[in-house]
Amino acid sequence: MEQADLRKLEAQCVQEEPPFCTAACPLHVDARAFCSLMGQGDWDKAWAVLARTLPLPGVLSRLCHGPCMEACVRSAKGGAINIPALERFCAEQGGRAARTIPMPAKGKRVCVLGGGLAGLSAAWDLVRKGIRVVLHSERPGLDLAREGASPLPAGVLDAELERMVRLGADFQAPVAMTAESLQALLEEFDAVIVDCAEQDIEGLGLGEPDTMTLGTNMPGVFVAGQCDEHVFQAASGRKAALSAERFMQGASMVAGREREDPYPSKLFTNVDDVAEVAPEPVPEQGYDAQQARAEGLRCIRCECLECVKHCEYLARFGSYPKVYARQIYNNQSIVMGTRQANTLINSCTMCGLCEELCPGDFSMEDLCLQARRELVEQGNMPPSAHEFALRDMHFANGPDCALARHAPGEKTSTHLFFPGCQLTASRPAAVRAAYDHLRAHIPAMGIMLRCCGAPAHWAGRTREYERSMDELRSQWESLGRPAIVCACPTCQGMLQNALPAAAVVDLWQVLQGAGVPESVKGADMELTVHDPCTTRYEPEIRQQARGLLQSVGVRVREADMSGNLTECCGFGGLLAEANPELGADVAKRRADSLPGELVTYCAMCRDMLAKGGARISHVLDILFPDPSAGDLAARPAPGYSRRRENRAHLREGLLTDLWREPGDPPKPYEELAVSFTEACLATMEQRRILESDVRKTLLRARETGRRLVYAQSGRYRAVFRPVAVTYWVEFEETGDGYLVHNAWCHRMRVAGGAA
């Protein structure tokens, strides 16, 4: 990722955009922070927020008419926050003058002509920066004490003027304004600011001041105060002061000033769930402490975070996409050292919900997928992140599970049933039943058992993904390029991208045409539909699945976050493998958010939400029930070892029953009599240790005689490294078999111990 790409990406996230009140304020006061502190009753800190931004804060906080209120998002939910009333209360309660510390002198002098609020504000900003100011006025701020929503208390203006004097301001008598006198002042001073609220500039040859800089036809002369409201006068003075400072520095007069005036914020704030609360009425004497706190608490603290609110992944890492983009950029830029953002990169579910919710279309999916590919290409992707999922993909595509055949007795295929490797792992009986039903209506329905390549794609393993798809494409072409019928929405999306020449349709559409078994019609149940995240932009698939359910009598209940706003089950993007704890939390969050009994049309969604505690069925559980299997909605998700066995047994059963081909003989390690304690099985599942790997370790120990024995327990320990992972097994012998008590694995090599 280049710097320009990062900047463009960061600009898409609006979370750091200022709230609407701040953007609308001519002086850009942080009203959000101010209201928050007022709601807490912390008057001193609230005053510090005002004093940090306002020129002459003791004066302006009492005179501001509140243009921010017109932009307040609260307006639609009871009424805008009364910022002016809060400012006046805060000025009375917390308006302590900050310690005056003069800045080091910069050797520059500015003349300000006129002591209106614009001139005073310009002088205020300049003296605080160490620039000497001479202000000519008969009586600076003379009219301010008589103006505004309430008169200024005695001494407030004088206190602010005294602070300015201590900082280096010099108040002098007014001077006559002519073109010649201006020129003379320019020779004496580095810049001149004219407050036209006190000075008439007609006939001076200054022309119309520039709207962005307030510069005039006379270089070094700036005109402020051409406005009515106090806060705009102060903002005008601030703008003139900044222009004078840049003029003296020889810097650009316009760079970076696009948002100096009030502007519309790009921030998005969802107020759908905000309760309407009316503003606190303002008594004649102003708010008391209780009323001020109540009005401050009405502020909804405008921010976006729409994606974070609906994504456990984004919330877990404690920030938001703009920050994550910077962290990922820094992670990719490291030449030597620890890459701190690898877990962040590998934990994205790549479901696309953030982009759907984001007003700027920020896609964490695209960002993380690109980062994963770069890590792989650079050789910096930790092998532990996705290796187990990739091994599972290779197993699904290997000789024990993969199959590509015409239907029995057919020499061509018009259609090809592609159930996907997860459905065959989760409920192979439903795959077999669905295939038998399809063949009864479409005799030339071939079948392909393998993985669609999604794990390699999600892992950023581009070459591995392309090899897998090349093999799949070759098998599809060898079958005559039939239409592909997918039972998995992820598979459907992957195949549509990889095989643009193929007609890829979903199983639900085909079943609607072929009909469903008569025996399942008349179902009387209400189920909440969970849409897989891969159907976010597939409304036809979503509707066809619902239509199929309704055709057998299911009453469909819609979830709040469904359709194009559906949330991930926790498996997408290989989250469950790269960050198992977060994957489990995502699944539980989604399961808890859905009411009643659930149904879905993705095998992994079904199993992940079942792990999350939901009662959930797959659509095929309803269309092709198995009375001998018990309550299918309550069935636990198969473990990793069982999933592999299910795939292998499905292939073997199809070959034996449909094509009358004998099954493969068992492998030597499969013939071992091995049992496991319940605790051991749970540990193996958590550690991604397969029963087959344990069996291989036990077989190696039997063949070599290499094992450790513990005298106290009588148990043995054996070690074996078949490929890249070293496995340890703690067991005892039971006659001709083994009872396994524990198993663990690591990537270190044990010298002489893993032949």
**Rounded CA separation 663/299 (Å):** 70
| Domain pair 109-249 / 388-514+639-654, same fold | no
CB 590 within 8 A of CB 566: no
Q: What would the two tokens of residue 98 be?
A: 């900050």
| pLDDT bucket at 748, cuts 50 / 70 / 90 | confident
- pLDDT at residue 149 in the model: 47
Per residue, what are the HEC states of 1-61?
A: CCHHHHHHHHHHCCCCCCCHHHHHCCCCCCHHHHHHHHHHCCHHHHHHHHHHHCCCHHHHH
- At residue 34, the pLDDT reads 97
Sequence length of the chain is 755
Tell me the pLDDT tens digit for each residue of 438-475. Answer: 999 999 999 999 999 999 999 999 999 999 999 999 99
Strands 415-418 and 483-486: parallel
Which of the four CATH numbers 3.30.450.20, 3.50.50.60, 3.40.50.150, 3.30.70.20 does domain 109-249 have?
A: 3.50.50.60
pLDDT band at 750 (very low <50, low <70, confident <90, very high): confident
* 8 A C-beta contact, residue 436 and residue 624: no
**What's this model's pTM, rounded to 2 decimal places?**
0.88
CB-based contacts of 565, cutoff 8 Å, min separation 6: 310, 353, 356, 357
Domain 388-514+639-654: top CATH class = alpha beta
CB atoms within 10 A of CB 247: 19
Q: 28-32, 235-239, 705-709 — which is least confidently predicted?
A: 705-709
Nearest to 747 by CA among 723, 717, 718: 723
Given a cut of 90, is residue 533 above it in pLDDT?
A: yes
Identify the pLDDT of residue 745.
94
3-class SS of residue 484? strand
What is the per-residue pLDDT for 676? 97
Long-range contacts of 135-140 (CB under 8 A, 24+ apart): 135/111, 135/169, 135/170, 135/171, 135/172, 136/111, 136/112, 136/172, 136/173, 136/174, 136/175, 137/113, 137/171, 137/174, 137/198, 138/173, 138/174, 139/115, 140/115, 140/171
Residue 146 has a pLDDT of 57
What pLDDT is attached to residue 114?
Answer: 92
Structure tokens given for 424: 């065959």
pLDDT given at position 281: 95
Residue 49 pLDDT greater than 90, yes or no: yes
The domain spans of the chain are 18-94+286-298, 109-249, 305-382, 388-514+639-654, 518-623, 674-746
**Dist CA 136 CA 583 (whole Å):** 69
The confidence band for 6, taking pLDDT boundaries of 50, 70 and 90, is very high
